[in-house]
Amino acid sequence: MTEVVKGRGNCLCGAIKFKAHTISLNVGACHCGTCRKWGGGPLMVVDCGTDVDFENVETLTIFNSSDWAERGFCGTCGTHLFYRLKESGQHMVPAGILDVEGDCNFDHQVFIDKKPSYYSFSNKTKDMTGAELFALYGASND
């Protein structure tokens, strides 16, 4: 399911609203240690590309989480709003905060080698280790 749609979302308190002009309906999970520390479990996201408009950005807080990415959250309620690649501006948005028409498909997992043994998804997905992910994008995890 690679259909691309438009979607809107907001944080828990409603202070920050956003519109993503294109959203892939494919949901992915990241099991890296940073994502698990950020949200207490895997980060479940959809790719919203680079064309995302935010309203009320005065409450938006950006955390520089690595050399290649940053994370945005509401400074009032703490809702996680995005994981954004610095170089491209590509936004990965938590699937649960989007209001999307249509069915999403959970189809991939990254950093599968970092997934703890205490949970497991039954969906058949494309699984990638951290090394495979970095190799795909020509990056280094050093």
- Domains of the chain with CATH codes: 4-136 (3.90.1590.10)
Helix count (H) and strand count (E) of the chain?
A: 2, 12
Q: What is the dihedral of CA 130, 127, 70, 15, to 10 degrees?
A: -160
Bridge partner list, 56: none
Q: List phi, psi (to 5°) of 20.
A: -105, 125
Instruction: Using the predicted structure, report yes or no on whether residue 141 has a pLDDT greater than 80.
Output: no
Instruction: Using the predicted structure, report yes or no on whether residue 1 has a pLDDT greater than 50.
Output: no
To the nearest whole number, what is the mean pLDDT of the chain?
91
pTM of the model: 0.89
Q: Quote the pLDDT of residue 130.
A: 94
Element of type H or E holding 35: helix 33-39
Q: What is the pLDDT of residues 68-116, one digit of tens each?
A: 899 999 999 999 999 999 999 999 999 999 987 778 899 999 999 999 9
